[in-house]
Structure 1
């Protein structure tokens, strides 16, 4: 299962990097495969693992703010593995080349 998680502790100002870094420590310590993006974090694992981690992250955000918005998007495909890489690789194969993604060189748009 692949989950995209976005957590916004409200009322904390315009920059959330410090709060989100604390939340990402929990994700990193989980040992589950994940990928941080500019708008959220994709996490891969089974239902119990990922939903338990989502709960931990939301609870951590609640320790910063009395009002937290947490959004999740779930892809649940039978027998699928390595979705973090395979979803992107499938699109790159069809595009015929590597595409820009977090942690990689940004592909500049052509004029």
Structure 2
């Protein structure tokens, strides 16, 4: 399972780093494969372990912010091994084939 999620503290100042730092720490220490960019964090793993990380990260933000918005997108593709990198590798392969 691969999920992409974003946590947005609501009702706080524009700079949210102080509000999400604890959540990022939880995600990084989860032991799961993760990748973050400026808008989303992706987490790869089994349903229960991934959703546990999302829950704990959300609770960490909620402990500091009066309201939290969670955006979650999941890709359930059992045949895909290593979806965090595998999906991109598959795309790159197809691009190379089209260019040839």
TM-score (norm 2): 0.89
State how 1:1-111 maps to structure 2 within 5 Å.
1-96=1-96
Q: Which structure features the higher share of helix residues? A: 2
| Deviation for aligned residue 1:20 | 2.3
- Kindly report the root-mean-square deviation, in angstroms, between the aligned alpha carbons of the 2 structures: 1.1
Structure 2 spans left out of the alignment, 5+ residues: none
Aligned residues: 96
Secondary structure in 2 matching 1:87: helix
TM-score of the aligned structures, taking structure 1 as reference length: 0.81
In structure 1, distance between residues paired with 2:63 and 2:84: 29
